[in-house]
Chain A
Amino acid sequence: MLKRTHFKASPLPYLLVAPQIFITVAFFIWPASQAVYQSMLLEDPFGLKSEFVWFENYQLLFSDEIYFSTFLRTIVFSSLVAFLSLTVALLLAATADHVVRGTRTYRTLLIWPYAVAPVVAGTIWMFIFDPTLGIVSYMLHGIGYEWNHRLNGNQAMALIVLAATWKQISYNFLFFLAGMQAIPKSLIEAAAIDGAGPVRRFWTIIFPLISPTTFFLMVMNIVYAFFDTFGIVHAVTKGGPAKATEILVYKVYNDGFIGLDLGGSAAQSVILMLIVITLTVIQFRYIERRVEY
């Protein structure tokens, strides 16, 4: 009541939030609800008519062994990407924190990959590892290791993990570095006086203090590996050989646009959506409590 008497109702606030609402509705709520609706339809092979089948598409998915193995593959893929990119970025950030001269150059070099589009990143790595043209496969051949990711599923997986990791390192690096530089220098000095060498200081002081950043990045990296790696997979392996690198997002595309199983593909994308929502909720829950000091 108080508010009503003191502030006259004005359309301005509604106007100000309208663009945001519009964007959310047009680009998220509407397509998402379309996906949910679509996931309950069964289309005939010629796309002439469709039938509402409730959860049949989901039932089919969950009893499908191929879907299950794709799921496992995705988990392996994203854990590898998250783990590798976090570890490498942490290592680079820890050294960058020490570098005194040429810091700017060093950092700029490390940040560059982030500006590269996933497809371009994939293409770069594809060229480097191309079985007939690539420099690395040539060198591997030189030491007696045959590289052909077009035939060898494990090698193909290694390649997309490499490309996806490379691209994510800059992002992680930036956050880690910012986190480390937010730690007061006197803490590190106090630890040095207390008798800790650089490695000890890292594990007992710096690492615990940036754990909120690490957790945030872990979730972000898993989300990235689950969803943003479509471009890389598409450019490098197209999910092959023999589905060895087909991860969930790629399967959505493959089943829907190549296999034309629109209902099944929509059901998969709804499941993906639920995973993102869960991860985001966990993320926010934790961030609210993360003020540890």
Chain B
Amino acid sequence: MARVLIENITKSYGETEVLHGINTDIQEGEFIVIVGPSGCGKSTLLRMIAGLEEISSGTISIDDRVVNNLEPKDRDIAMVFQNYALYPHMTVFKNMAYGLQLRKFSRKDIKKRVDQAAKLLQLEELLDRKPRQLSGGQRQRVAMGRCIVREPKVFLFDEPLSNLDAKLRVQMRLELRKLHRRLKVTSIYVTHDQVEAMTLGDRLVVINAGYAEQIGTPLDLYEKPATLFVAGFLGSPAMNFIKAQISADGKQARLSDSVQIPLHTGSADCGGKEVTLGIRPEHFSLTEQGHSTLPLTVDHAEFHGADTIIYGRLPGNDELLTARLPHIHHISQDKVLHLTAAPEHIHLFDPASGKRI
């Protein structure tokens, strides 16, 4: 268990800077998820914490000790790789024992620890097998076991579930969560899957193009996304963005000549401004026609069982909006639905900076 402090970390490959000053304070025993689209620099950041990648500037400290110049083996971390990186020529037992042998543990201690980890991960039957004789999920568990036996200060995960099929991924996600609750080791987890991020993380760090866009709990990020990027990245289906103008008194947003919706009273100081409204599909609800409703002309609908995802257009706007409505089974094209959204669920963003207003 340890506290990991990341201060002003940047990374450059030659001339190109791929991470631009990341700051995070990871508490003891916390499960932090670093999430972002492909190529945004998540793995690079994780590998810098592991010591596999040089740090261009800034400092990383583990338990108040700056580790910038420490070898990976001296940082007391363990890492699960995306392809598991099990040693193919060693049995499961030896894979787990390798790190302990190098650290000069006695045979007895090694056996004790490996057996313990194997029991925890239900690997007891598999200790004599080679990695190639294991299924994907079992390999994943061995990779976990190899980390657990060392009892490191920090666990690092680089997309450990991305090679598994959908069902197994959900199951392993749950097991990871349970394991963390049990071992309480500080964990840093990289993924590009927002569902994984939301369900696993105590807090998330959303990275986009090398910048940390927002850091916070899943609920924070869902309810108060700090930027357009975070708003669009988290949540599925993604948040709708609509251009609008705020009325002078700040109480209404005008989407077009005929469409207006009421806003939360707190948005008074942006009267008259051009903004981007953000409304999540699940925050729309059906209502009777009125003067402050959104008339959505249905383009098509996807029936998902419990609810239906409806795609449609507002008058004078060509972009498709998404609404997620319960209890709708049949809906014909070109029908007009009248939707509202509660003012507290309407997010306002500055279209120029992308920042939340």
**Count of interface residues, chain A, beta-carbon cutoff 8 Å:** 19
Does chain B have a CB within 8 A of A136? Answer: no
Residue of B nearest to A189 (CB): B52
CA distance A187 to B82 in the complex (A): 11
| Residue pair B98, A194 in contact (C-beta under 8 Å) | yes
CA distance A79 to B81 in the complex (A): 42
| 14 intermolecular pairs with C-beta atoms under 8 Å apart | A184-B83, A186-B81, A187-B88, A189-B52, A189-B79, A190-B87, A191-B98, A193-B52, A194-B146, A195-B73, A196-B98, A196-B102, A200-B102, A293-B88
Contacts beyond the supplied A191-B87, A193-B99: 13 A-B pairs with Cβ under 8 Å: A189-B50, A189-B81, A190-B79, A190-B146, A192-B71, A192-B72, A192-B73, A193-B50, A194-B98, A194-B102, A204-B98, A205-B87, A208-B89
Residues of A171-193 contacting chain B, CB below 8 A: 184, 186-187, 189-193
Query: Contact string, B72-99, partner A, CB cutoff 8 A, digits 1/0?
Result: 1100011101110101110000000011
Does chain A have a CB within 8 A of B130? Answer: yes
CA distance A192 to B204 in the complex (A): 28
CA distance A200 to B99 in the complex (A): 12
Chain B residues with Cβ under 8 A from A184's Cβ? 83, 85
CB within 8 A of A193: which of B78, B89, B130?
B78
Chain A residues with Cβ under 8 A from B87's Cβ? 187, 190-191, 205
Does chain B have a CB within 8 A of A65? Answer: no
Chain A residues with Cβ under 8 A from B52's Cβ? 189, 192-193
| Residue pair A186, B89 in contact (C-beta under 8 Å) | no
Residue of A nearest to B81 (CB): A186
Does chain B have a CB within 8 A of A64? Answer: no
Chain B residues with Cβ under 8 A from A205's Cβ? 87
Does chain B have a CB within 8 A of A288? Answer: no
Does chain B have a CB within 8 A of A61? Answer: no
A194 and B73 in contact (CB under 8 A), knowing A200-B102, A293-B88, A293-B131? yes
Chain A residues with Cβ under 8 A from B79's Cβ? 189-190, 193
Does chain B have a CB within 8 A of A292? Answer: yes
Does chain A have a CB within 8 A of B177? Answer: no
Report the 9 A-B pairs with minimum CB-CB distance, sorted nearest first: A293-B88, A194-B99, A186-B85, A195-B102, A195-B73, A190-B85, A186-B81, A193-B72, A208-B89
Residues of A243-257 contacting chain B, CB below 8 A: none
CA distance A190 to B82 in the complex (A): 11
Does chain A have a CB within 8 A of B132? Answer: yes
Question: In the complex, what's the smallest C-beta–C-beta distance from A89 to chain B, in angstroms?
Answer: 21
Q: Among the interface residues A194, A197, A200, which one has the most CB atoms of the partner chain B within 10 A?
A: A194
Residues of A201-232 contacting chain B, CB below 8 A: 204-205, 208-209
Chain B residues with Cβ under 8 A from A191's Cβ? 87, 98
CA distance A191 to B101 in the complex (A): 12
CA distance A121 to B89 in the complex (A): 39
Question: In the complex, what's the smallest C-beta–C-beta distance from A282 to chain B, in angstroms?
Answer: 21
Residues of B39-96 contacting chain A, CB below 8 A: 50-52, 71-73, 77-79, 81-83, 85, 87-89
